[in-house]
Structure 1
Amino acid sequence: MTPDRIAAVIDFLALADRLKHVERRGRTVGPDGAARQENSAEHCWNVALVALLLHGEVADPPELGHVLAMIAAHDLVEVEAGDTFAYDEAHVLTQAEREKAAADVVFARLPPDLGARMRALWEEFEEGETAAARFAMACDRAQGFLQGVIGTGHWRAEGVSEPQTYGRMDPARKVAPVFEALIATLYERARAGGMFAEPRP
């Protein structure tokens, strides 16, 4: 690596470090019982762990290294665009436009070849057309739902009812039977814990 290339990589990693300061709506509970907001870097690590644990549970699994690379890249745009809460309908409407503009900024910080590689991983995840992308998406959505259950639940406070979650979770459930089983179990726990808001009339 040339000095300029090393410097660009360091600068990009410093930019990516800001992901640790992008808060999500999901909450995490410490061993002392105190809760705080999860951040996007923690989310990405947990999605990678889901992928590692479930990869061997699916028929014809995608190449794991590629899946993990997509997971590492998939939320980098949030250092510029911020996190979009899945059930904030108004914010979701502008998400694609905001994140594309953020991608233009974020990936341009790298040398062109590395920037193109990272952007391609992000785009593959967003497009969801490959088996690897669908598996990564299912891990991502399963983690977000899991965090809602183990993080003391935030859906009731946010006014999110169970039926509102189906549009987000159903595509993940269809990726493989293990996701159906995992997510069905999480729904059972969420219902038992009274974690959902009442459906709107």
Structure 2
Amino acid sequence: MTPDRTAALLDFMALADRLKHVERRGRTRGPDGTDRNENSAEHCWNVALVAVLLHGEVEDKPDLGHVLAMIAAHDLVEIEAGDTFAYDEAHLLTQAARERAAADVVFGVLPPDLGQRLRALWEEFEEGTTKEARFAMACDRAQGMMQGVIGTGHWRHAGIREEQTRGRMNPAREVAPAFEALIGLLYERARAGGMFAA
């Protein structure tokens, strides 16, 4: 590796470290009972764990290495664009444009070959047309739902009713029976815990 390439990789890793400071709406509760918002880096790690756990549970197995690479890249644009809450209709209207502009900045820090590779992974996730992208999306959606259930049920506080979540969760449920089972159980627990707005 040349000194310039090494420096570019280090600069990108320093930039990527900022993902730890992008706050999400999902809450996480510590063993002492205190809670706080999760960050996007924690979210990505948790999505990767969901992928590892559910990969063996699906019949039409995607390439797990490719899925994990996509998960590692899928939220890097949030370093510049910030996280968009799934039920914030106003911000959802501008999300695609904000994230495309952020992708230019974030992936532009890398040497061109790596920048193109990571951007392609991000675009594949966003387009959702490959088996790997659909599996990664389902893991992402399942993690968001799980965080609401094991965290503090942020939907009730945000005024989100159960029926509002269906449009987001149903595509993930359709990827494989394992996702239907997991997400179905999460809905049961959310209802039992009164976690949705009335």
Query: How far did residue 152 of structure 1 move?
Result: 1.5
Deviation at 1:76, TM superposition (A): 0.2
| Whole-angstrom CA distance in 2 between matches of 1:140 and 1:175 | 12
Q: Report the AA paired with residue 24 of structure 1.
A: R
State yes or no: 1:71 paired with 2:71: yes
| 1:55 and 2:52 aligned | no
What residue is the counterpart of 1:169 in the other structure?
169
Q: How far apart, in 1, do the equivalents of 2:197 and 2:98 lie?
A: 29
The equivalent residue for 1:17 is 17
Instruction: Show structure 2 runs of 5+ residues with no match.
Output: none
1:13-58 Cα deviation digits (max 9, x unpaired) = 0000000000000000001010000000000000000000000100
Per the TM alignment, residue 60 of structure 1 is displaced from its structure 2 partner at its CA by 1.9
Helix, strand or coil at the partner of 1:86? coil
Q: Deviation digits for residues 38-97 of structure 1, max 9, x if unmatched?
A: 000000000000000000100120110000000000000000000000000111111111
What's 1:193 paired with?
193
Q: Secondary structure at the match of 1:24?
A: strand
Aligned length: 198
- What pairs with 1:1-201 in structure 2 (closer than 5 Å)? 1-198=1-198
> What's the RMSD between the two structures over aligned residues?
0.4
Letter aligned with residue 72 of structure 1: A
Distance 2:154 2:117 in 1: 36
CA distance in 1 between counterparts of 2:100 and 2:52 reads 28
Question: Counterpart of 1:93 in structure 2: which amino acid?
Answer: L
Q: Moved runs in structure 1, 4+ residues, more than 6 A?
A: none
